[in-house]
A and B are shown apart, each in its own frame.
Chain A
Amino acid sequence: MSDVVEKTLTALPSLLSLDSHPGSAKLSSTSKLGNLIRGITELTSKHEEEKLIQHELLAIKEQVSSPNTTMRQMKELMVRSIYCEMLGYEASFSYIHAIKLAQQGTVLEKRVGYLAVSLFLNESHELLLLLVNTVLKDLQSTNLIEVCMALTVVSQMFPKDMIPAILPLVEEKLNHPKEIIRRKAVLALYKFYLIAPNQVQHIHNKFRKALCDKDPGVMTASLHIYLQMIQENPDAYKDLTPSFVTILKQVVGGKLPMDFNYHTVPAPWLQIQLLRILALLGKNDQSTSEVMYEVLDESLRRAEMNHNITYAILYECVKCIYTIHPKSDLLEKAAKCIGNFVLSPKINLKYLGLKALTYVVQQDPKLALQHQMTIIECLDHPDLIIKRETLELLFRITNAQNVTVIVEKMLEFLCISEDDHTTIDLVGKVAELAEKYAPDNEWFIETMNTVFSLGGDMMQPDIPNSFLKLLSEGFDSVEEDRKLKLFAVNSYVPLLRGEPGKLPQRFLQVISWVLGEYSHLREDLEPAEVLSLLAKLLDMKNSSSETKSWVLMAMTKLCKGGTDASVTQEVSETYSSSLDTVLRQRAHELQYLSQDPELRARVLPRGANPETLEVDSSLSFLDRFVSEALAAGAAPYKPPHQRQEELDQSKALSLEPYGLSLPISMSSCSITDRQSPTLLSMSSGLSGDSADLSHKGGSSALKLDGVKRVWGREGYLAQREPVEEAAQVEVPSPIQSPGRQGEGDSLHSQTPTQTPTPEPEQEKQQLASSLFVGLASQSSVSLMGKSEPTPQRFRRKAKGQGPGSSFNASEQISSSLISPPSAVDNLLCNNLLDSNNASELAEQTSQLSQRLTTANGTCHTEAELTEPDTKGCNPALRRDNCVVAADPGPHDDPGRLTEVCLDSYLPAELSGLSHSEIAPLCANQSLNLSACHVQKEDSLILVVFIINSSESAIQQMLLQVDSEELEVSCLCDSPAGEMTSHSVAVGQYSLTVKRPAVHVEVVGTVSYQLPAGTSQSLQFSYKVPLTSFIRPFVVSTEEYGTMWLSFSHDTKQNLTLINDNQEPLTATLNALKKKLQLHVVEVIGMEGIVACRLLQDLPCLMHCRVNAGWLAVWLRSPVPDLPDCLIYHCQRALQSL
């Protein structure tokens, strides 16, 4: 049988040259499927259709299970089942037969079998197990079509856990002689990479081979994988930039075969893929960006045809230009291009233009000004999609002057939008803008009221939380504070008097809290009235129990006894028998506290600043209770996230008996209740942590992971964030009504309308001036991300600051990592697409792949070179081990020679210590400079060697060393004066870190005079990794705990775990300890705490936890940037293993 297939395959090319009749497919409309379809179209009601299909399915079911049904008939039956399923009727009985058809049918039947399987089953279906063998068999088939089908089905729906079974065969296909197979294999691997990246990690070098494939189709397919990998780690692929640029150049230049053209545009999909990759590589990286300027310019120029596909390329090009390091003439061209989009009468292009504007407007607000009239038109566009995109753009250009207009437009849109996703998103944006730029109290409260009513219960929970936080924190001015709170109270009372049933639950919760806290500010309002309004909420049918508990809390704060007693008494009686434990708790609290005003005043002091409250964040007063419970056999507390993880890990049935659970008492947290129930749950999370540790001897809370820390020993922690200081300087702006604000704006707006214009036009102009006000002043320069110095009325949440600072650090990292593109790589792929001669190409590729390996080789050595010092210093710090110098390993470079002899020039007091490799710095005809650094227990010494390599003496030599990040102090006298021929002078400097960076640099100058009298100078720089300044820091767990709480700079990241025979946590910590000189304080279960110090005494603490195959690391230090730098080195250390 397979013989026939083989023959067919060989005969194919000749058959294909005759143009076959494509219409032949239409014949099948006389088949049974045809009858079914026609039958359905003749029906008039849904009911009749259902009857017909059920009848049809019965017939199919009978036939598929009959032993006499041939595979050919089965194929036809499967097609009919697919059709029934597409109409929405289930045909699950046919699933197994589809698998059978794929297994047993001939090529054509198999094709339908595979199609049916891929349509019927999804990745998690258990029947798929039965498909593995069929796929394996087909992957090994000699029939190309079968292999293709197997690869297609594999990329369509293969389950993650079955990938290992077929992976070797798919990998093998990367070397298949047919390019179509190679291409499909690459795409299948791409799919695997998406669903299970770690399973294909070992084939990364094969991806490189695919990238260099002689068939441009295979190369294109491999770019999908590269785009993904580069997205995750752009630094690792910088060396490929010149290759990508070369490929793009050739594609743009039309060097690809005609087959790749799409409407005469050369390989647009490939072009766009490359542009995306280049954007990722060039981001925040000047030197890499410079490599691509030329080709980007050419891409812009070539894409001039008026067709969708060229616009698609242009759009991607513009995005790339605005992502990479800026170049002014390219930016100008890109801006013009955006103009073409925005001004186009075609709505699709306009949409894309708005999208592009949104992308670039933060860097170049001028562009928004240029197109303001178009933007206004789009704001009123009948198509909601366009409107929505315009709002997105406006959101990016909002400032204190135009906020009222923009927010108004957003709220207008919210009223008509019906899409939940849009509502959630937009509500969040309005809240953010309101908090950032609110011009006055009334506006702020009113806007937030609209946000709460429109956002309903869909919006992100942090919106009401941060609103309440803002209210309670207040400003610096007590008076302003009071006004804001009073205004909130004033606006809520009528809402409750009206129809509170229509308000969303979240809003009701906010209202209850505010009334509970601040209704006393309004003197004419009797607490009794507030109480009865609140009690009304309790009686509403649709109030959730969460809302009720907020209401009860508020009532507890308000009740004073006396006349209020009857209401509270009634309420607390109703709910003290509630089935909901939280409600019952609240009701009891209400009852007790309303009867004991003294206790109430102590527990819920009115108007107290949150700062003044003494809060024991570790809830240590519970320790005794916890240890008693533990002694009685209760299970130790696990924080929710840990429980969730464990749950995920053990999805199978649990056969273990359940442990005793330990209820955390809520009543003991009542002090923190003044914030909100949400915060309450956080603090109970904290209490659990202390419970966990207390029985092990630790006293402080350690597991703070995943818990936002709001309260600390010193009170409200947000106080310590750096933003705060900036915010405190600002004076709250005088209250101004929105209307007056608008007038003021139009006065100094930069588009004055002098000439009389028709009415609607004028309206637009006015809108424009109020929308785009404040942009002109910023638009002058600054192309890169700039910080907006707009004063803010309200304190901003500190949360934004953390990621921002770590971003800066990562920027530094990326810039320090750029490796110069090697010449080898430049050659790579250079001729890949140039020639049309196939045989020549084949030869070249094999050469190229060889070159590629050498290119890899250089990369590796370079990576090693950056870390020699860590290797060198290890032995010295292992105290029991007296090895003096580390073995730097075989090196062929000429610097090695000098090092050997320079070793003897090391000052005697340093010679016993380990030092980094002596590296040549610079040289000219007379001087040769080298340097190394020596790690002492408590300092780092830089040693500079100056060798007079000339035949004559030099005079007045002066060595100066300085650094931006370091404090440099000269240890003994700097070498100076005269140096005889072939002598060596040595300078010693002690270095301490002023400002941590991933690598710190020392720059120096040697100036001297030649005998002839001409003075010369020589400059050098020397880089030291931060790790050289790190020393172990020996502390006890208790000390660690106290320090942890007091440090404010932190960063978190997931690191890879080392998986060797040992326990992964210990193995990883040991590796880090060895490489980076850390001190492991304690390891408890799946967690470990580690400490180190930056010379001299700047501590940095590290908390590690094993979490879903990763090491979740949290670093804290009193020094800014230190955690970020250290996490970088941890990462490097683990990667280099």
Chain B
Amino acid sequence: MRFMLLFSRQGKLRLQKWFTSMSDREKKKIIRDMTTMVLARQPRSCNFMQWKDLKIVYKRYASLYFCLGVESQENELLALEIIHRYVELLDKYFGNVCELDIIFNFEKAYFILDEFLMGGEVQETSKQIVNRSIEASDMLQEVRFTDMHQTLQDDRLE
């Protein structure tokens, strides 16, 4: 896998993940090309595209497009299922996920993605396990910062 992008119907980037080293210029070009190419696709076309030497697999969920760049010898259907499982993971975590969840909590979406994919390969496919480890990390926050006093002080400083 080379990259994963999430963007809205208006072409606004919501999440970007790069699995190989790329310069900022390349990234910008890919983001621009992907949004234009994907958004221009007619309904009921297939979910795969060729871009340079890469295969682009994309899918729309409600108002969000999920777009995955994989090597051209990769299995496109499998890539499609990677997207689907990621959506399911988001759904499990946020509970009936919508675009706003991802906009306002994009860092959480990144954490979930990091738990699911690592080094450009699928690491953990189980919804339960991914969710458990994300919540384990989240929980630390609640245990450590139930100290209301500290929180109040922080707020006053701001």
Contacts and interface: CB of A to CB of B under 8 A. Distances in A.
B80 A308 contact: yes
A433 B126 CA distance: 49
Contacts of A26: 94, 101, 104-105
A563 interface: no
Interface stretch (A81-89, A662-670, A753-761, A878-886): A81-89
B122 A269 contact: yes
B13 interface: yes
A639 B43 CA distance: 54
A771 interface: no
Contacts of B143: 4, 8, 11
B81 A262 contact: yes
Interface string A307-348: 011011001100000000000000000000000000000011
Contacts of B123: 183-184, 187, 221
Interface string A328-370: 0000000000000000000111111001000000000000000
B93 A22 contact: yes
B104 A385 contact: no
B61 interface: no
Contacts of A347: 44-46
A571 interface: no
B104 A34 contact: yes
A355 B46 CA distance: 13
Contacts of B76: 348, 351-352, 355
Interface of A (DSSP majority class):
helix
Contact of B53 (A108, A157, A421): A421
B19 to A, nearest CB: 8
A179 to B, nearest CB: 10
Interface in B26-62: 28, 42, 44-53
A767 interface: no
Given A73-B158, A86-B13, A187-B121, A25 B78 contact: no
A421 B53 CA distance: 8
B148 interface: no
Contacts of A106: 144
Contact of A421 (B21, B51, B104, B108): B51
B63 interface: no
Given A108-B137, A123-B21, A187-B121, A22 B107 contact: no
Contact of B154 (A73, A187, A350, A422): A73
B95 A22 contact: yes
B53 to A, nearest CB: 7
Nearest to B47: A348
Interface string A7-30: 010011001100010111110110
A1083 interface: no
A221 B119 CA distance: 11
Interface in B78-106: 78, 80-81, 84-85, 92-95, 100-101, 103-106
B118 to A, nearest CB: 5
Interface string A217-252: 100010010000000000000000000000000000
A255 interface: no
B77 A421 contact: no
Interface in B138-157: 138-141, 143-145, 154, 157
Interface string A1006-1044: 000000000000000000000000000000000000000
B46 A386 contact: yes
B141 to A, nearest CB: 5
B141 A108 contact: yes
B117 to A, nearest CB: 9
A137 interface: no
Nearest to B59: A348
Contact of B108 (A25, A73, A119, A260): A25
B50 A385 contact: yes
A224 B21 contact: no
A385 B136 contact: no
Interface string A116-134: 0001001110000000000
A26 B94 CA distance: 8
Interface in A422-455: 422
Contact of A107 (B53, B77, B125, B140): B140
A260 B141 contact: no
Contacts of A68: 157
A114 B82 CA distance: 24
Contact of A87 (B13, B100, B139): B13
A28 B108 CA distance: 11
A385 B45 contact: yes
Contacts of B120: 191
Interface string A30-42: 0001100100000
A161 B75 CA distance: 32
Interface string A185-221: 0011011001100000000000000000000010001
A79 interface: yes
A221 B144 CA distance: 33
A311 B118 contact: no
A1123 interface: no
B135 A16 contact: yes
Nearest to B150: A72
A309 B80 CA distance: 9
Nearest to B103: A37
Contacts of B104: 26, 28-29, 33-34, 37
Contacts of B126: 259-260
Contacts of B50: 385, 388, 419, 421-422
A22 B144 contact: no
Contacts of A191: 119-120
A1046 interface: no
- 6 nearest CB pairs, A to B: A312-B77, A123-B21, A191-B119, A155-B119, A259-B126, A383-B45
Given A4-B144, A122-B23, 14 more contacts: A22-B92, A108-B137, A108-B141, A119-B16, A123-B21, A194-B119, A224-B121, A272-B78, A308-B77, A348-B77, A350-B46, A351-B76, A419-B50, A421-B52
20 contacts: A8-B139, A8-B143, A12-B136, A24-B138, A25-B94, A25-B105, A28-B104, A29-B100, A34-B104, A86-B15, A187-B121, A221-B123, A262-B81, A269-B78, A312-B78, A347-B45, A385-B48, A385-B50, A386-B46, A422-B50
Interface of A: 4-5, 8, 11-12, 15-16, 20, 22-26, 28-29, 33-34, 37, 68, 70, 72-73, 79, 82-83, 86-88, 106-108, 111-112, 115, 119, 122-124, 145, 148, 152, 155-157, 180, 183-184, 187-188, 190-191, 194-195, 217, 221, 224, 259-260, 262, 267-269, 272, 308-309, 311-312, 315-316, 347-352, 355, 382-383, 385-386, 388, 419, 421-422
